[in-house]
Amino acid sequence: MSDVQPKFYVLRAISGKENKVREYIENSMKNSDLGQYVTQVLIPTEKTYSIRNGKKVLKERAYLPGYVLVEANLVGEAAHQLRNIPNVIGFLGGSNKPVPLRPAEVSRVLGTVDELHEQEGELELQYFVGESVKVIFGPFNGFTGIIEEVNTEKKKLKVMVKIFGRKTPLELSYVQVVKE
């Protein structure tokens, strides 16, 4: 390997095929001379919640769909080998000579991805005042109430629930309720 410091490049891939591209590159790193040039392959992902069959499911999705970050020294045939991987459209920028990302861009993308992994996940639902919700988790499991307040920053709801014939306010997270 040369003494040139590896840099991050962006490969454009067919959307939804990012993991296949990463697997192919990692296998090529082990089985061919591509491992001399490529040091790591990253797919920025974020965690999101979705509702499936009435239950909240945590899943990971691509934060930048269609893009794969590759840290490599692009000397010799390395760029050509990466460009000719199945499901790869080419390098970002479209020119014959790939342009590396600036260190500020790399740190911004990787910092954003780290930030997203630290969050418990983003809920894809919107809650509104006056909606009816059912508690699905916690000590008030099974109770139904009306939303009084929505705090989108903290992902919390203030829900009025009838307990023993009396309205009682509860502060619940988005994960603890489901729309009715």
- Residue 62's nearest CA partner among 24, 12, 99 is 12
Q: What tens digit of pLDDT does each residue of 93-107 get?
A: 766 788 888 888 887
Q: What tens digit of pLDDT does each residue of 76-87 get?
A: 888 888 988 999
> pTM above 0.75?
no
Q: What's the rounded Cα separation, in Å, for the pair 180 and 50?
A: 16
Indicate the pairing of strand 55-62 with strand 132-135.
Answer: unpaired
pLDDT at 13: 92
Given a cut of 60, is residue 124 above it in pLDDT? Answer: no
For residue 36, what are its two tokens?
Answer: 């001399």
For residue 120, what are its two tokens?
Answer: 């418990």
Phi then psi for residue 172, to 5 deg, are -125, 150
Given a cut of 50, is residue 49 above it in pLDDT? Answer: yes
Q: What tens digit of pLDDT does each residue of 12-24 get?
A: 999 889 999 999 9
pLDDT at 60: 81
Phi then psi for residue 58, to 5 deg, are -90, 130
Instruction: Give Cα 68 to chain centroid, integer Å.
Output: 13
Contacts of 87 (CB under 8 A, 6+ apart): 13, 14, 17, 20, 21, 24
Integer angstrom CA distances of residue 32 from 80, 81, 102, 103: 14, 11, 28, 28
- The alpha carbon torsion through 168, 136, 120, 47 (nearest 10 deg) reads -140
Q: Check if the beta carbon of residue 156 is closer than 8 Å to that of residue 173.
A: yes
Integer angstrom CA distances of residue 49 from 56, 61, 124, 169, 170: 6, 10, 6, 25, 22
Q: 156-180 as b/e, with b when 16 or more CB fall inside 10 Å?
A: bbbbebeeeeeeeebebebbbbbee
The strand pairing partners of 132, in sequence order, are 146
Please report the domains of the chain, with CATH numbers, ordered by start residue: 7-123 (3.30.70.940), 132-179 (2.30.30.30)
- Could you tell me which residue, 55 or 164, shows the higher pLDDT? 164
pLDDT at 123: 47
Given a cut of 60, is residue 90 above it in pLDDT? Answer: yes
